[in-house]
Amino acid sequence: MDEMKQEEKQQEVQAENAAGKAGKENTSKKGTGFWKGVMAGMFGSLAAAAVLAAILSGAFGSVPAGQAPNPENQAEQNGEGGGPGEEEQPGLNRGTVSSKIDMLQYAIEEYFLFDKDWDKIESGIYKGMVAGLEDPYSEYYTKEEYDQITEETEGVYSGIGVLVSQNMLENSITILRVFPGSPAEEAGMQKGDLIYKVGDVMAADVRPDVLVEQHIKGEEGTFVDIVVLRDGEEVPLHVQRRMVEAQTVESKMLEGNTGYILVTQFELNTAQQFKDAVDSLTAQGMERLVIDLRDNPGGVVDSCVEMAAYILPEDKMDGTILTTADKNGEGIRYYCKDGKLNLETPEGSGGGQYPKEEGHQVDVPIAVLVNGNSASASEVFAGALQDYGHAVLVGTTTFGKGIVQSLLPLPDGTAVKLTVSHYYTPGGKDIHGKGLTPDVEVEQVLDEELRGKYDIPPEKDNQLQRAIEELR
């Protein structure tokens, strides 16, 4: 018995020493990838881009069927199970990781003061592993988070109806757009507002995506109290949540038969909304078209590619709209042929994803408005039209997100979003970190009373007016 007690005591001392060592490592390695990853992983989800949509449509593209990772039969790939003398394989040392997790679990069970949720802790481990990649666009999602994303990309969700942008340097959230007729608009929220507080939660104390998903969104019919900063003043707002269908496309006819289409982001329903807008304006006698992608953070790649294919000719650049390349130099090519959008992969070409009217293209002069918040799928669309010489880009240099994320579902209902490839415009341009340079560079200049407003009169929008001038 004495020997058993001595052994138990020895194990306890070892665990204490291990916990102490881990604490020292946490201090000494503060700022390195793994520990930052673990800390960040404990707080939440989705970094789809530097620009974050309120309905969180940040998954750029989707994983082809059958490419979800298989958790089985991975031991060899990760160096597990190798005997003495075998060449060490790259990847995690599962024995070391497992042992350390056991020690941490023991230390938490024995000494942690407060209540704990082991499900959250487990999710935090997975989130920390992905966050350790130090890629702001890669993220692990719990089952609940993945279900939300799946629902939201369809364009319908329970919330307040805003599009927001995340400033990663300042850890702040700015309102980019307030959807017309939304609860946010009815409550008085405005473009340019900074979210300061939601309920009792200070916005600066949690990750922006967590603030949106766990505190702003909620059950239909419930209310949320939000304090925003507007011109340095705190403005309290009482907003009722309800089901919101994201109207990502708005259109109208301006003077001189100039069609105007605003695309706020790219969801699964965006392409159809865009085509309906084009057809409606065409029927009204549209003679020129301005497509506004300013402050558009991107979204679902299929939508922007389908939109480009709908209005571009097929007799240039082999109909190519987008190409990608992964770390092995392999990728996919989206192209339009015989009135159908096709997908070419290393395994071959797939069938047309959608049919369009024979020879359909928009043959009126087109201008595309862009700025520094035009990112990801916005840049795919604008870059394709620019390379084809089918539109003039007006505004300021775009954000420069030239990489692709795939959302990979896991067998247990969770998912991981990973950066998997670069993308290139039809002309082969890599815009990552550089952005698209407009053909006509124009800074937006607004009267003081119009700054931060959602609905700017066309005659007061100098960038829009310059775009119209370029089309005459």
What distance in Å separates the CA atoms of residue 153 and residue 142, rounded to the nearest whole number?
A: 17
Do 345 and 424 sit in the same domain of this protein? yes
Closest by alpha carbon to 49, among 57, 40, 58?
A: 58
CA 329: distance to chain centroid? 24
- What are the φ/ψ torsions at residue 438 (nearest 5 degrees)? -60, 150
**Residue carrying the six token digits 């990502």:** 248
> What per-residue confidence (pLDDT) applies to 138?
95
- Give domain status of residue 236, yes or no: yes
Q: Tell me, what CATH number does 278's domain have?
A: 3.90.226.10
Rg (CA), the chain: 25
Rounded CA gap, 334 and 305, in Å? Answer: 7
Chain segment 76-86, per-residue pLDDT in tens: 333 444 444 44
What pLDDT sits at residue 358?
A: 64
- 240 and 182 in a common domain: yes
Residue with tokens 């695309």: 263
In a domain, 115, yes or no: no
Handedness of CA 439, 362, 250, 195 (dihedral sign): negative
Q: At which of 245, 261, 278 does a domain end?
A: 245
Per-residue pLDDT tens digits of the chain, which is 472 residues long? 444 444 444 444 343 343 333 333 333 333 322 212 211 222 222 223 223 333 223 333 333 323 333 333 333 333 444 444 445 557 889 999 999 999 999 999 999 999 999 999 999 999 999 999 999 999 999 998 888 777 666 666 788 988 777 665 556 788 877 888 899 999 999 988 999 999 999 988 887 777 887 899 888 999 999 999 998 899 999 999 998 877 789 999 999 999 999 998 898 889 999 999 999 999 999 999 999 999 998 988 889 999 999 999 888 888 999 999 999 999 999 998 888 888 898 887 776 777 776 667 888 999 999 999 999 999 999 999 999 999 999 999 999 999 999 999 999 999 999 999 999 999 999 999 999 999 999 999 988 777 656 568 899 999 999 999 999 8
Domain co-membership, 231 together with 270? no
The reply to whether 28 falls in a domain is: no
CATH number at residue 220: 2.30.42.10
| 186 contacts: CB under 8 Å, gap ≥ 6 | none
Q: Are residues 247 and 274 in contact, defined by beta-carbon separation less than 8 angstroms?
A: no
Pair (202, 274) in one structural domain? no
- Say if residue 170 is in the same domain as residue 286: no
- Residue 133 · residue 120 · CB < 8 Å: no
From the CB of residue 251, how many other CB atoms can be counted at a distance below 10 Å?
A: 21
Q: Which domain holds residue 163?
A: 156-245
Tell me the CA end-to-end span of the chain in Å, nearest whole number: 95
Q: Are residues 266 and 228 in the same domain?
A: no
Q: Taking a C-beta distance cutoff of 8 angstroms, is the pair 218, 212 a contact?
A: no
pLDDT the model gives residue 18: 37
Cα–Cα distance, 124 to 166 (Å, whole number): 22
Residues 207 and 268 both lie in one domain: no
Question: Residue 59: what pLDDT?
Answer: 32
Q: Using an 8 Å Cβ cutoff, are 272 and 222 in contact?
A: no
Residues 184 and 217 in one domain: yes
Q: How many CA atoms lie within 13 A of 437 on its CB side?
A: 3
**SS3 letters across the chain:** CHHHHHHHHHHHHHHHHHHHHHHHHHHHCCCCHHHHHHHHHCCCCCCCCCCCCCCCCCCCCCCCCCCCCCCCCCCCCCCCCCCCCCCCCCCCCHHHHHHHHHHHHHHHHHHCCCCCCHHHHHHHHHHHHHHCCCCCCCEEECHHHHHHHHHHCCCEEEECCEEEEEECCCCEEEEEEECCCCHHHHHCCCCCCEEEEECCEEHHHCCHHHHHHHHHCCCCCCEEEEEEEECCEEEEEEEECEEEECCCEEEEEECCCEEEEEECCECCCHHHHHHHHHHHHHHCCCCEEEEECCCCCCECHHHHHHHHHHHCCCCCHHHEEEEEECCCCCCCEEEEECCEEEEEECCEECCCCCECCCCCCCCCCEEEEECCCCCCHHHHHHHHHHHCCCCEEEECCCCCCCEEEEEEECCCCCEEEEEEEEEECCCCCCCCCCCCCCCEECCCCCCHHHCCCCCCCHHHCHHHHHHHHHHC
**Do the Cβ atoms of 185 and 239 come closer than 8 Å?**
no
Closest CA to 180 of 240, 254, 236, 264: 264
Q: Which residues contact 8 (CB under 8 A, 6 or more apart)?
A: none
Residues 171 and 317 in one domain: no
Number of domains in the chain: 2
Let me know whether 292 and 362 are in one domain.
Answer: yes
Q: Which two tokens stand for residue 42?
A: 């404990």
Residues 294 and 429 in one domain: yes
Q: Do 222 and 275 fall into the same domain?
A: no
